Structure 1
């Protein structure tokens, strides 16, 4: 059972003011390849799972940005940690 929801906004510094969208696409690919449940929204992506695993994914996302050419990365996160269990559906299900 998931114990955390983390929403992430990643802002890579690009060369010569390049568009950040291809970088963000690569960050989302890191999430996809991890296998955790996630939802992409216009300004952030929310991931669901074990807190330690999710923080590892966020670390990998930042490292990926540097690998593909960003000189630095700002990552803004919001964390909901609930040891008894939590799912995105618990918070947003009534709106679907």
Structure 2
């Protein structure tokens, strides 16, 4: 795809009736935190920056963590910003820059 850094935003929505929804989301966030990639957690999604293949790997692992936490069904929304000639940065999208 590209050897430049991209951004990948992931939102995992566990479809469960138990009262441990946030524990399942936290399992996904923990994978991201331990992945070594730059990330920002927002109220609606987590945005990561890094190489395309690495971010795909982290996204898959985050989904697996939710399954391992006992979730049988989830919605996953992924958005990517990809450039072929330069890195995508977090700073360029910030309003307070």
TM bucket (normalised to shorter chain) is: 0.7 to 0.9
Residue of structure 2 in register with 1:55 after alignment: 56
What is the CA–CA distance in structure 1 between the aligned matches of 2:37 and 2:78, rounded to whole Å?
17
RMSD: 1.6
What is the CA–CA distance in structure 2 between the aligned matches of 1:9 and 1:55, rounded to whole Å?
13
Count of equivalent residues: 94
Aligned counterpart in structure 1 of residue 90 of structure 2, from 82, 88, 91? 88
Given that 1:2 and 1:50 are in contact with CA atoms closer than 8 Å, whether structure 2 keeps it comes out as yes
- How far does the alpha carbon of each residue in 1:11-45 deviate from its partner, in whole angstroms, 9 at most, with x for none? 1122x332411111111100011010000111111
* TM-score, normalised with respect to structure 2: 0.87
* TM-score, normalised with respect to structure 1: 0.88
Residue of structure 2 in register with 1:46 after alignment: 47
Instruction: Compare the two structures and name the one with the higher helix fraction.
Output: 1
Runs of 4+ in 1 over 4 A off after TM superposition: none
What is the CA–CA distance in structure 2 between the aligned matches of 1:70 and 1:78, rounded to whole Å?
22
Matches within 5 A, 1:7-86: 7-14=9-16, 16-83=17-84, 84-86=86-88
Return 5+ residue gaps in structure 2 as ranges. none
